[in-house]
Chains A and B, each alone.
Chain A
Amino acid sequence: EDKVVQSPLSLVVHEGDTVTLNCSYEVTNFRSLLWYKQEKKAPTFLFMLTSSGIEKKSGRLSSILDKKELFSILNITATQTGDSAVYLCAVDGASGSRLTFGEGTQLTVNP
């Protein structure tokens, strides 16, 4: 059975700090890894990673995938209170595009 593990499960930082969120996976037929941000309701899409070593960036957020070691990291630099959310990692590893999710990392950024 496919499995995704995120760490830490919870993280509290101060504004301006840099954070690194981790996601490891065990899946068959890996196709992609996705990061989502969930603030109150709908998880919103951040990144899709399919190739090792290629960093994806969007503003202060960046992510990279290591397909040999089966993990991904999500970095957030110069954190702001608006970055407070649950960050979800999901992997598409089976036929039919079903996503397998980790439990998520609850990030709290204090002023």
Chain B
Amino acid sequence: EAGVTQFPSHSVIEKGQTVTLRCDPISGHDNLYWYRRVMGKEIKFLLHFVKESKQDESGMPNNRFLAERTGGTYSTLKVQPAELEDSGVYFCASSQDGWLAGDTDTQYFGPGTRLTVL
């Protein structure tokens, strides 16, 4: 079974440009999460999709970040315009049942996209 995949693995852009990150969850997983790790800090939650709906987007830093999950399959995270402080590793995770099951369901992580904003 294929795991969570993310594309690209690394992106280098200049301040003010736009970047779109993609995540393909494990097939059949309704729950999709985005997290971010900036230099020297812990991994932090950004948002949570249940199928195509945003369940929790309280971790999104500002309106320069836009996440979508059309059709409830893969998800994209767009940063526009990118700023220097957006540099970090963006992780995607997916789980089968999530909070709907009334219990924690294991979140499986992708390899991350390393974003560097110059």
B residues 54-108 near A (Cβ < 8 Å) are 55-56, 59, 91, 95, 98-99, 103-108
Q: Which residue of A lies closest to B40 (CB)?
A: A103
> CA A80 – CA B28 in complex, angstroms?
35
B42 within 8 A of A: yes
**Interface bits B7-35 vs A (CB < 8 Å: 1, else 0):** 00000000000000000000000010101
Out of B4, B99, B106, which one reaches A48, CB within 8 Å?
B106
Establish whether residues A45 and B106, one from each chain, have CB atoms under 8 Å apart when the complex forms. yes
State the Cβ distance, B9 to closest chain A Cβ, in Å.
8
Question: Is B59 in contact with A98, judged by CB distance below 8 angstroms?
Answer: yes
| Closest partner residue, chain A, to B56 (CB atom) | A96
Complex Cα–Cα for A43 and B94 (A): 12
A3 vs chain B, min Cβ distance (A): 10
Q: Nearest residue in B to A103 (C-beta to C-beta)?
A: B42
Q: B43 near A88 (CB under 8 angstroms)?
A: yes
CA distance A107 to B2 in the complex (A): 28
- Tally A residues with Cβ within 8 Å of B: 25
- Cβ-neighbour of A41 out of B99, B108, B111 (below 8 A): B111
Asked if B106 and A41 sit within 8 Å, CB to CB, the answer is: no
In the complex the two chains form, what is the Cα distance from A50 to B104 in whole Å? 9
Kindly state the separation between the CA atoms of A90 and B44 in the bound complex, as whole angstroms.
10
- Cβ–Cβ contact A97 & B111, under 8 A: no
Binding site for A on B (CB under 8 A): 3-4, 31, 33, 35, 41-45, 48, 55-56, 59, 91, 95, 98-99, 103-112
